[in-house]
Structure 1
Amino acid sequence: MQKKRLFLLDAYALIFRGYYAFIKNPRINSKGLNTSAILGFMNSLLEVIKKERPDHLAVAFDKGGSVERTEMFQAYKAHREETPEAIRLAIPYIWEILQALHIPILVKEGFEADDIIGTLAKKAEKQGYLVYMVTPDKDFAQLVSENIFMYRPSRSGNDAEIWGVPEVQEKFGVQTPEQVIDFLGMMGDTADNIPGLPGVGEKTAKKLLADFGSLENLLSNTHKLKGKLRENIENNAELGILSKKLARIILDVPVEFNERDFEISNPDMEQVTKIFEDLEFRQLLQNLIKTYQNATEQTQAIQTDLFGGESLSERKNIQNTPHFYQLVDTPIALKILLQNLLTQSEVCFDTETTDLDSLQAELVGIAFSWHQGKGYYLPLPENPAQTQEILQDFKIFFENEQITKVGQNLKYDIKVLANYGIEVKGNLFDTMVAHYLINPDMRHNMDVLSQTYLNYSPIPIENLIGKKGSGQLSMRWVALEDQKEYAVEDADITWQLKDLFREKLQQTHTASLYTDLEAPLIRVLAKMELEGIALNTDFLKTLSVTLDEDISTLENAIFALAGETFNLASPKQLGDILFEKLKIADKPKKTKTGQYATSEAILSDFAEHHPIVAQILEWRQLQKLKSTYVDALPLEVNPKTGRVHTTYMQTVAATGRLSSNNPNLQNIPIRTPRGQQIRKAFVARDKNHVLLAADYSQIELRIIASLSQEPNMIKAFNQGEDIHRATASQVFGVPIDEVTREQRSHAKTVNFGIIYGVSAFGLSNQTELSRSESKQLIDTYYATYPNLRGYINKQIAFAQEHGYVETILGRRRYLPDIHSKNQVVRSAAERNAVNAPIQGSAADIIKIAMIRIQNRLEKENFQTKMLLQVHDELVFDVPKSELEAVKKAIQSEMENAYSLTVPLVVDLGEGDNWLEAH
Structure 2
Amino acid sequence: MADKFLVIDGSSLIHRAFFALPPLMNKNGVHTGAVYGLCNMLLKLLGDLQPRYMAVAFDKSRKTFRTELYADYKGQRKPTPSELSEQFPLAMQVLGALGIHTLELDNYEADDIIGTFAVHAPENVEVVIVTGDRDELQLVDKRTKVYYTKRGISDIQIFDEAEFAANYEGLVPKQLIELKGLMGDTSDNIPGVPGVGPKTALKLIKEYGTVANVLENIDKVSGKSLKAKLAEHKESALLSQKLATIYTDAPVDCNVELYELAPIQEEARTLLQDLEFRNMYDRFAAVLGGEQHSFDLFGETVEQEAAPEIHVTEAGQVEKLFAALNAAKAPVPVVATVAGTLPELYFSKVELLVDETVYILDNFSNCWEQFYTWMASDATKQTVDSKEVFKVCLCHGCEPKGIVDDVALAAYVADPGHSSYALADLQKRHLPSSAAHASEAVAQLVPVLREQLNAREQVKLYEELELPLAPVLARMEYAGITPDMELLQQLNEDMTFRISKLEALAEEQAGESFNLKSPKQLGVVLFEHLQLPVVKKTKTGYSTDAKVLEALQGKHPLIDTILEHRKLAKLQSTYLDGLKPLVNVKTGRIHTHFQQTVTVTGRLSSTDPNLQNIPTRTEEGKQIRRIFVPGPGYDCLMSCDYSQVELRILACIAQDELLLESFRHGQDVHARTAAEVFGVPLDEVTGQMRSRAKAVNFGIVYGISDFGLANQLQVSRKEAAGYIESYFARYTGVKKYMEDIVAKAREQGYVSTLMGRRRYLPDIRHSNFNLRSFAERTAINTPIQGTAADIMKKAMIDVNAALQAAKVKSRILLQVHDELVLEVVNEEKELVAQLVEKAMESAVTMEIPLLADVNFGSNWAETK
Same fold by TM-score greater than 0.5: yes
Distance 2:767 2:682 in 1: 44
- Runs of 5+ consecutive residues of structure 1 not aligned to the other structure: 1-10, 20-25, 41-63, 65-73, 113-121, 124-253, 255-273, 283-308, 460-488
Confirm or deny that 1:452 pairs with 2:429.
Answer: yes
Confirm or deny that 1:518 pairs with 2:466.
Answer: yes
Confirm or deny that 1:348 pairs with 2:333.
Answer: yes
TM superposition shift of 1:909: 1.6
In the other structure, the counterpart of 1:380 is: 363
TM superposition shift of 1:618: 0.7
Distance 2:589 2:32 in 1: 42
1:449-488 superposed matches below 5 A: 449-457=426-434
In structure 2, give the amino acid aligned to 1:375. Answer: V
Q: 1:727-771: per-residue Cα shift (whole Å, max 9, x none)?
A: 101111222222111101110111011111112111111113211
In structure 1, give the amino acid aligned to 2:431. Answer: L
Confirm or deny that 1:366 pairs with 2:358.
Answer: no
1:618 partner SS: helix
In the other structure, the counterpart of 2:376 is: 399
Distance 2:20 2:727 in 1: 40
Change in 2 beyond 3 A, CA 1:699/1:690: same
Distance 2:487 2:278 in 1: 49
Distance 2:659 2:564 in 1: 38
Asked if structure 2 preserves the Cα contact closer than 8 Å seen for 1:895 and 1:905, the reply is yes
TM superposition shift of 1:803: 2.0
TM superposition shift of 1:311: 4.9
TM superposition shift of 1:27: 7.3
Change in 2 beyond 3 A, CA 1:98/1:781: closer
1:819 partner SS: coil
Asked if structure 1 preserves the Cα contact closer than 8 Å seen for 2:409 and 2:597, the reply is yes
Distance 1:34 1:641 in 2: 52
1:109-258 superposed matches below 5 A: 109-110=185-186
In the other structure, the counterpart of 1:43 is: none
Q: 1:776-829: per-residue Cα shift (whole Å, max 9, x none)?
A: 111110111111111112212222232221111111112222222322222222
1:564 partner SS: coil
Change in 2 beyond 3 A, CA 1:360/1:279: farther
In the other structure, the counterpart of 1:830 is: 776
TM superposition shift of 1:32: 6.0
Q: 1:260-303: per-residue Cα shift (whole Å, max 9, x none)?
A: xxxxxxxxxxxxxx9x9998799xxxxxxxxxxxxxxxxxxxxx
Q: 1:569 aligns with which of 480, 495, 517?
A: 517
Identical positions, percent: 37
In structure 2, give the amino acid aligned to 1:905. Answer: L
In structure 2, give the amino acid aligned to 1:780. Answer: S
- Give the greater-gyration-radius structure (CA): 2
TM superposition shift of 1:551: 1.2
Q: 2:604 aligns with which of 652, 655, 658?
A: 658
Change in 2 beyond 3 A, CA 1:673/1:840: same
In the other structure, the counterpart of 1:334 is: 318
Give the TM-score of the pair, scaled to structure 2: 0.68
TM superposition shift of 1:417: 2.0
Confirm or deny that 1:554 pairs with 2:502.
Answer: yes
Change in 2 beyond 3 A, CA 1:704/1:15: same
Distance 2:559 2:35 in 1: 42
Q: 1:506 aligns with which of 443, 454, 466?
A: 454
Asked if structure 2 preserves the Cα contact closer than 8 Å seen for 1:693 and 1:873, the reply is yes
1:566-605 superposed matches below 5 A: 566-585=514-533, 588-593=534-539, 595-605=541-551
Asked if structure 2 preserves the Cα contact closer than 8 Å seen for 1:358 and 1:412, the reply is no
TM superposition shift of 1:497: 0.7
1:648 partner SS: strand
In the other structure, the counterpart of 1:440 is: 416
Q: 1:763 aligns with which of 709, 720, 732?
A: 709
Asked if structure 1 preserves the Cα contact closer than 8 Å seen for 2:351 and 2:361, the reply is yes
1:378 partner SS: strand
Asked if structure 2 preserves the Cα contact closer than 8 Å seen for 1:28 and 1:441, the reply is no
1:725-744 superposed matches below 5 A: 725-744=671-690
Asked if structure 1 preserves the Cα contact closer than 8 Å seen for 2:35 and 2:87, the reply is no
Distance 2:631 2:18 in 1: 54
Change in 2 beyond 3 A, CA 1:892/1:366: same
In structure 2, give the amino acid aligned to 1:576. Answer: V
In structure 1, give the amino acid aligned to 2:337. Answer: E
Distance 1:81 1:769 in 2: 39
Distance 2:158 2:637 in 1: 67
Q: 1:151-181: per-residue Cα shift (whole Å, max 9, x none)?
A: xxxxxxxxxxxxxxxxxxxxxxxxxxxxxxx
In the other structure, the counterpart of 1:806 is: 752
Which deviates further from its counterpart, 665-674 or 885-894? 665-674
Asked if structure 2 preserves the Cα contact closer than 8 Å seen for 1:280 and 1:452, the reply is no
Distance 1:330 1:811 in 2: 47
Asked if structure 1 preserves the Cα contact closer than 8 Å seen for 2:536 and 2:542, the reply is yes
1:342 partner SS: helix
In structure 2, give the amino acid aligned to 1:408. Answer: V
Asked if structure 2 preserves the Cα contact closer than 8 Å seen for 1:866 and 1:874, the reply is yes
2:622 partner SS: helix
Change in 2 beyond 3 A, CA 1:688/1:871: closer
Distance 1:910 1:31 in 2: 47
In the other structure, the counterpart of 1:630 is: 576
1:277-356 superposed matches below 5 A: 311=297, 315-317=301-303, 320-345=304-329, 346-354=331-339
Give the TM-score of the pair, scaled to structure 1: 0.65
Change in 2 beyond 3 A, CA 1:314/1:728: closer
Change in 2 beyond 3 A, CA 1:358/1:84: farther
Asked if structure 2 preserves the Cα contact closer than 8 Å seen for 1:29 and 1:279, the reply is yes
In the other structure, the counterpart of 1:163 is: none
In the other structure, the counterpart of 1:426 is: 402
Change in 2 beyond 3 A, CA 1:812/1:103: farther
- Runs of 5+ consecutive residues of structure 2 not aligned to the other structure: 1-13, 38-61, 63-71, 92-130, 133-148, 160-166, 168-179, 189-197, 200-243, 245-268, 280-294
Distance 2:78 2:524 in 1: 32
In structure 2, give the amino acid aligned to 1:512. Answer: K
Which deviates further from its counterpart, 443-452 or 691-700? 443-452
Asked if structure 1 preserves the Cα contact closer than 8 Å seen for 2:306 and 2:435, the reply is no
In structure 1, give the amino acid aligned to 2:426. Answer: L
Distance 1:540 1:851 in 2: 32
2:538 partner SS: coil
TM superposition shift of 1:558: 0.8
TM superposition shift of 1:720: 0.9
In the other structure, the counterpart of 2:730 is: 784
In the other structure, the counterpart of 1:182 is: none
Asked if structure 1 preserves the Cα contact closer than 8 Å seen for 2:649 and 2:784, the reply is yes
Distance 2:466 2:150 in 1: 41
Distance 2:556 2:297 in 1: 65
In the other structure, the counterpart of 1:533 is: 481
Change in 2 beyond 3 A, CA 1:642/1:89: farther
Count the aligned residue pairs.
Answer: 642
Asked if structure 2 preserves the Cα contact closer than 8 Å seen for 1:16 and 1:87, the reply is no
Distance 2:654 2:308 in 1: 57
Asked if structure 2 preserves the Cα contact closer than 8 Å seen for 1:447 and 1:458, the reply is no
Change in 2 beyond 3 A, CA 1:723/1:688: same
In structure 2, give the amino acid aligned to 1:438. Answer: A
Asked if structure 1 preserves the Cα contact closer than 8 Å seen for 2:630 and 2:823, the reply is yes
Asked if structure 2 preserves the Cα contact closer than 8 Å seen for 1:82 and 1:821, the reply is no
Asked if structure 2 preserves the Cα contact closer than 8 Å seen for 1:808 and 1:841, the reply is yes
Distance 2:848 2:626 in 1: 34
